[in-house]
């Protein structure tokens, strides 16, 4: 999750920018940089300093190359396009224009090709450098920086929060926002202790809280010119508008969490954006993984998914999706067990490592062993240039940004999105081999892509019901045990729901395939055993209803996750959490969100350390 900071005033900018970047450090990053305008007797010049790694490296670089400029921008980068190197670090520069950017430019490849034809030279692998060149090009026909930024964003597709300075416009900062957070900090002498007018810009209020508590929120499509006199804003229709100013009352710790009580709750609510960024990173129009040539299994080859913990649950869903959509055999292995059982790898097999951090020791060892035995390798990972990403031949990044909470939420749902996209992509390349009608395949792909594109708004609607889920959680917070049941794609969801509850509330919980209940777990059910049932519409729904009846007949208290409009379920379950209807193959993504909230609110009610549960680490980097 990248961070943006900008300052324009009379104070020396570098210390303020570094302080802001340090406040954004909790978000995670792999490089940092600043661009500061210096004004001497001659025309303004840009003093740009960047460094890979921690902010301390940037501090050292600035000490070696100091500046007293009072107008600048800074950035902490979480790599999406290109590795975590100094060349890829922001700000990016073109003909006097410096840009920092959060988000993903979906059509960056097409824009890069056109700019190369126009004579621009690229020095990084990033999508952001495209923006710097676009603005520099636009300034050849627009005298105002504001207009040049407007003209540039009109050519862009995707998500962005931009902060731009120009040597030709030394008295202003221009910012733009679309589907990525950005706010303006107005002059606040009471907080800063400085009477001279100044203005800040940041992606997160924590970066500027020591200097102003008066902030102005931008809407999607806004472009704003900031001077020490204030902000001039135009909306997506190029009309001049005003935006609401608010007073921040949070303390510094709460500001890092953006007002949420815990990082986990914040990250649950970040899932629509994380999923949107993952989609934008891999879908261009109706094309998935444009210009990517991932390895294909041979006609007799398999897909072998290797993962641990939450990622293993995502892989279980991936197996079903790959087999149902692409008709390719798929297996799922616990990475911690894989290399100890002398696995059989056949020619033409593909091994896929699934990992949030890309550093999980067991998964790293397993994918290394699969490659050694002859499998082609691929990874699904959230961290650019992590060990697993470097080891595999290809990688699909999930673009979830960093997770601070130990319990994984947005990393899980973005892994499911990545696996869904891979399954559709693979189906398009194997269907001719299995005799599937091309028209039927294309229609199915379009239906799935439509649902995938709608996932961010669908999950936003699920999050609107959090208060109902919180009330349900209060009724079950003091129980000792809980059982989770699901069938088909609902089974991995049940496993993940039970894991979340165990991790953060310390309640005993188990996930089972619904059909396995009669093979043992049914003996546990009585009035003291709440049972969470994944009962969304789709294949196996009637079977799940039968399992639910069996629970009720033994006195079990049923909490059902069901599809909106299902009137039958309310007669059978004590509590129902409704989710919007969606393509059955994508229901796991949607059904997982209320279970995350249920676990969170139960844990919060029990008073446990939600973000740092006992005995657990975020990344397991030793066996």
Query: Which residues are CB-neighbours of 276 under 8 A, at least 6 positions away?
Result: 159, 179, 456
Q: 510 is written with which tokens? A: 């188990």
- State the DSSP string of 97-114: EEEEEEEEETTHHHHHHH
How many whole angstroms separate alpha carbon 176 and alpha carbon 273?
17
Assess whether 2 carries a catalytic annotation: yes
- Of how many residues is the chain composed? 623
Residue 322 is given by DSSP the state I
- List the one residue out of 48, 28, 29, 52 whose CA is nearest residue 38: 48
Q: d(Cα 429, Cα 295) in Å, to the nearest integer? A: 11
Phi, psi angles (nearest 5°) of residue 141: -120, -5
* Strand bridging mode 481-486 / 530-535: parallel
Instruction: Name the active-site residue from 261, 410, 543, 618.
Output: 618
User: Strand runs (DSSP E) across 179-282, as ranges?
Assistant: 183-185, 199-202, 214-217, 223-227, 230-234, 240-241, 245-247
Handedness of CA 412, 80, 167, 50 (dihedral sign): positive
137-142 contact pairs (CB < 8 A, 24+): 139/95, 139/97, 139/166, 139/168
Q: CB–CB of 506/606 below 8 Å?
A: yes
Helix axes 587-606, 438-463, angle to 10 degrees: 20
Question: Is the Cβ–Cβ distance between 549 and 534 less than 8 Å?
Answer: no
> Is residue 220 within 8 Å of 243, Cβ to Cβ?
no
Judge contact between 404 and 26, C-beta under 8 A. yes
Whether 266 is a known active-site residue: answer no
CA distance 501 to 473: 11
- One of 2, 308, 317, 381 is an active-site residue; which one? 2
SS3 content of the chain, % helix, strand, coil (to 5): 40, 25, 35
Q: Which residues of 191-226 are buried (b: 16+ CB within 10 A; e: fewer)?
A: bbeeeeebbbbbbbbbbbbebbbbbbebeebbbbbb
Measured in degrees and rounded to the nearest 5, phi and psi for residue 38 equal: -105, 135
Q: Label each residue of 159-175 as H, E or C.
A: EEEEEEEECCEEEEEEE
Helix/strand/coil for 467: helix
Distance CA 506, CA 210 (A): 37
Cα dist from 429 to 326, 338, 392, 423, whole Å: 8, 28, 21, 10
Residue 471 exposure: Cα atoms within 13 Å on the Cβ side:
7
- Residue 99's closest CA among 135, 69, 71? 135
Taken in order 490, 492, 496, 502, the sign of the CA dihedral is positive
| Phi, psi angle pair for 157, to nearest 5° | -125, 140
Catalytic residue positions, numbered: 2, 618
């Amino acid at each position: 999750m990248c961070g943006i900071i900008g300052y324009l005033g009379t104070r020396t900018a570098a210390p303020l920018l570094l302080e802001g970047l340090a406040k954004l450090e909790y978000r995670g990053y792999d490089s940092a940089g600043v661009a500061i305008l210096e004004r001497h007797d001659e025309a303004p010049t840009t003093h740009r300093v960047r460094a890979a790694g921690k902010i301390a490296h940037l501090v050292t670089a600035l000490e070696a190359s100091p500046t007293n400029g009072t107008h600048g921008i800074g950035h902490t980068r979480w790599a999406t396009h290109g590795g975590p190197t100094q060349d890829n670090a922001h700000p990016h520069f073109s003909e006097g224009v410096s840009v920092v950017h959060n988000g993903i430019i979906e059509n960056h490849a097409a824009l890069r090709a056109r700019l190369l034809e126009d004579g621009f030279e690229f020095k990084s692998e990033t999508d952001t450098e495209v923006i710097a060149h676009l603005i520099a090009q636009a300034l050849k026909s627009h005298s105002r920086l504001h207009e040049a930024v407007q003209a540039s964003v009109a050519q862009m597709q995707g998500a962005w929060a931009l902060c731009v300075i120009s040597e030709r416009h030394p008295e202003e900062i221009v910012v733009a926002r679309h589907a990525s957070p950005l706010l303006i900090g107005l002059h606040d002498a009471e907080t800063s202790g400085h009477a001279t007018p100044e203005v800040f810009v940041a992606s997160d209020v924590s970066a500027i809280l020591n200097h102003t508590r008066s902030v102005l929120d931008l809407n999607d499509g806004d472009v704003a010119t900031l001077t020490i006199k204030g902000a001039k804003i135009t909306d997506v229709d190029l009309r001049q508008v005003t935006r609401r100013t608010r007073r921040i009352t949070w303390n510094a710790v709460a500001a890092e969490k953006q007002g949420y009580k815990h990082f986990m709750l914040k990250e649950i609510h970040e899932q629509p954006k994380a999923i949107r960024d993952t989609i934008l990173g891999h879908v261009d129009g109706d094309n998935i993984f444009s210009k990517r040539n991932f390895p294909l299994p041979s006609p007799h080859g398999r897909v072998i998914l290797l993962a641990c913990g939450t990622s293993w649950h995502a892989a279980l869903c991936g197996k079903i999706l790959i087999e149902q959509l692409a008709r390719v055999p798929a297996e799922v292995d616990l990475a911690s067990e894989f290399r100890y059982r002398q696995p059989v790898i056949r020619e033409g097999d593909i091994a896929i490592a699934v990992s949030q951090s890309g550093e999980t020791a067991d998964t790293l060892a397993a994918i290394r062993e699969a490659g050694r035995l002859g499998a082609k390798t691929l990874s699904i990972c959230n961290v650019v240039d992590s060990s697993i990403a470097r080891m595999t031949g290809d990688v699909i990044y999930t673009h979830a940004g960093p997770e601070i909470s130990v319990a994984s939420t947005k990393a899980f749902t973005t892994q499911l999105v990545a696996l869904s996209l891979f399954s559709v992509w693979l189906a398009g390349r194997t269907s001719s081999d299995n005799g599937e009608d091309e028209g039927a395949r294309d229609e199915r792909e379009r239906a799935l892509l439509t649902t995938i594109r709608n996932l961010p708004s669908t999950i936003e609607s699920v999050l609107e019901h959090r208060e109902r889920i919180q009330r349900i959680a209060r009724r079950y917070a003091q129980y000792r045990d809980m059982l989770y049941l699901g069938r088909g794609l609902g089974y991995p969801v049940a496993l993940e729901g039970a894991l979340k509850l165990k991790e953060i509330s310390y309640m005993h919980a188990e996930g089972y395939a619904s059909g396995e209940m009669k093979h043992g777990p049914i003996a546990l059910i009585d009035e003291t055993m709440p049972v969470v049932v994944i009962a969304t519409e789709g294949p196996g729904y009637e079977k799940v209803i039968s399992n639910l009846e069996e629970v009720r007949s033994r006195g079990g208290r049923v909490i059902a996750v069901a599809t909106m409009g299902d009137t039958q379920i309310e007669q059978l379950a004590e509590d129902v959490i409704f989710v919007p209807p969606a393509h059955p193959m994508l229901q796991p993504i949607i059904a997982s969100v209320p279970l995350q909230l249920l676990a969170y609110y139960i844990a919060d009610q029990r008073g446990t350390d939600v973000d740092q549960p006992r005995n657990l680490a975020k990344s397991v980097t030793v066996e």
